[in-house]
Amino acid sequence: MNGIGVLAGIAFAHLAVRTRQTLVAILGVAIGVGFFLAVSGMMTGSQTDFIRTLIDTAPHIIVQDEQRNPARQPAVTAWPQAAVAVRGVRPQDEVRGLKDWPAMLAAARTQPGAVAAPSLSGAVAVRFAGRTEPLSLNGIDPRIEGQLTKIEASLVGGHLTDLEARPDGIIISRPLANRVGARLGDTLLVSSSAGVLQRMRILALIEPDARAGFYAGDNAAYGLLRTAQVLFARPNVVNQLHIKLGDPQAAEGVAVTLEARWGYKWVSWQERSRDIRNLLVVRNVIMYAVIAAILLVASFGIYTSVSTSVTDKRRDIAILRAMGFTEGDVEGVFLIEGLVVGVAGALVGFAFGSVLLEVLARLPITVQGKPLELPLDRGLRQYLIAGAASLASALVAAWLPARKAAGVDPVDILRGAA
């Protein structure tokens, strides 16, 4: 590669004599790359963190005993061509339950890395010391449910599995406990819409702002599946399946496939959070627009630098051509100039961006009195994107003046100089 070497030698010589302009151009790229790393580190970091929370908050897929489309009436099925009007169709009972749920559970468990658990959820009322509060009671299998969500991390005073030893146990949120004035170990009176009354003992409290935990709201409560079935007078009935997959991203596809096979409503976390995720897309578009603007400004710097170099060096261009350098060689010299500025700018920018990220990571931010660590994405990917973007913009910015340099007619210059 003697050829490239000699062109690079000329390019470096050009840059070296124009130290100040070169440094300014490098600095432009470096600032662009540095801010890119800081901004996208924060944005992708918080987004990843947010999505993880979305995924972890609840099971990846929840199967509910609802239909997406109302069931076709037998009369409509029987006479497909006929115009059938059906009146007075009433919805069935509220806590109906999933038919064939053991088979559905088995099907869900065949997915790679899947954990699946049945649950029976419904509305109950709790009474304590004369106060009544509505609750949404989830009857669960504590051992499996603990693997499905991060609820365990939010518990204080006990564990999910404590329910196994105490079928009359209940876990409620701390705010709800405060509202009715109950404490850990107190016994609540729980009544269901089926008219069943049951005394239940508080085994643990759910802390709303626990780190890395999961909180479904003040009025969510947990008990044993069997206990719930008794409360709702629905022995052996299950109205929800909770599924966690090895690969959370697969949830949407799996949900669609299994829903087509089994009916009912299989809601993936993606479906549940569609609106929020659309917002994230908008946020990303804004971020990349800002980044593109920064890099555009940086590439203006490169353009100006290379373009003045071309103007200054018209005589050198004529000499090179007279010596036997081709138009392509001349173009190469100036492309290399732009590339060198781009690479040097990216490297300085990496250092600058790392410093910015380090500063952000150490920023003492507190939310509601608790120190908050900014979720930052400091992965190699960010650096690769920033590097590739700055190189691409450097090449494009240098290409225009380099084309101009290649088009210089040496004879014009030689005549002018003689």
Partner 1 sequence: MTALIETAHVTRRLIDPETVTLVDDACLKIQPGEFVAVVGPSGCGKSSLLYLLGLLDRPDTGSVRIDGILTDGLSDAERTHLRLERIGFVFQFHFLLPELTAEANVALPIRRLGRLSRSQADDRAHELLAKLGLKGEAHRRPDRMSGGQRQRVAIARALANDPAIILGDEPTGNLDSANTRLIVEEFQRLAHEEGRAVVCVTHDMGVAAAADRRIHMLDGRIVPEPGPA
Ligand X SMILES: Nc1ncnc2c1ncn2[C@@H]1O[C@H](COP(=O)(O)OP(=O)(O)OP(=O)(O)O)[C@@H](O)[C@H]1O
Q: Does 17 bind partner 1 (CB under 8 A)?
A: yes
Residue 207's CB is within 10 A of a number of other CB atoms, namely: 17
- Closest residue to ligand X, judged by C-beta, is 415
Q: HSE of 192 in the Cβ direction (CA atoms, 13 Å)?
A: 23
Helices (H) and strands (E) in the chain, counts: 16, 12
Query: Residue 189 in contact with residue 174, Cβ under 8 Å?
Result: no
Of the candidate spans 7-15, 47-55, 169-177, 188-196, the one that interacts with partner 1 by CB under 8 A turns out to be 7-15
Q: Does 19 bind partner 1 (CB under 8 A)?
A: no
Strand partners of residue 366: 371
CB of 411: closest distance to ligand X in angstroms? Answer: 8
CB of 311: closest distance to partner 1 in angstroms? Answer: 15
- According to DSSP, residue 266 is labeled E
Q: Which letter, b or e, does each residue of 49-76 get, where b requires 16 or more Cβ atoms within 10 Å of its Cβ?
A: eebeebbbbbbbbbbebeeeeeeeeeee
- Of the candidate residues 102, 113, 328, 416, the single one contacting partner 1 (CB under 8 A): 328
Region class of 133: left (phi > 0), else alpha (psi between -120 and 50), else beta: beta
14 contact, one of Mg ion, partner 1, ligand X, none, CB 5-8 Å limit per kind:
partner 1
CB of 416: closest distance to partner 1 in angstroms? Answer: 11
Q: Does 281 bind ligand X (CB under 6 A)?
A: no
The residue (of 380 and 418) whose beta carbon lies closer to Mg ion is: 418
CB of 326: closest distance to Mg ion in angstroms? Answer: 25
Q: Contact letters (x/-) for Mg ion, 399-418, by CB under 5 A?
A: -------------------x
- Of the candidate residues 100, 196, 415, 417, the single one contacting ligand X (CB under 6 A): 415
- Of the candidate residues 287, 290, 319, 347, the single one contacting partner 1 (CB under 8 A): 319
Of the candidate spans 88-96, 123-131, 202-210, 326-334, the one that interacts with partner 1 by CB under 8 A turns out to be 326-334
Strands, DSSP E only, in 129-260?
131-140, 155-156, 169-173, 187-192, 197-206, 220-224, 240-244
Q: Does 334 bind partner 1 (CB under 8 A)?
A: no
CB of 321: closest distance to Mg ion in angstroms? Answer: 18
DSSP string over 43-83: HHHHHHHHHHHHHHHS-SEEEES--SSPPPPHHHHH-TTS-
- Of the candidate residues 82, 89, 289, 418, the single one contacting ligand X (CB under 6 A): 418
Residue 364 in tokens: 């003492």
The residue (of 372 and 411) whose beta carbon lies closer to partner 1 is: 411
Q: Which spans in 263-379 are helix H?
A: 269-272, 274-312, 314-323, 327-362
- According to DSSP, residue 97 is labeled -
The residue (of 274 and 415) whose beta carbon lies closer to ligand X is: 415
* Cβ within 8 Å of residue 261, ≥6 positions away: 107
The residue ranges that bind Mg ion (CB under 5 A) are 418
The residue ranges that bind partner 1 (CB under 8 A) are 2-3, 5-6, 9-10, 13-14, 16-17, 315-316, 318-329, 410-411, 414-415, 417-418
The residue ranges that bind ligand X (CB under 6 A) are 415, 418
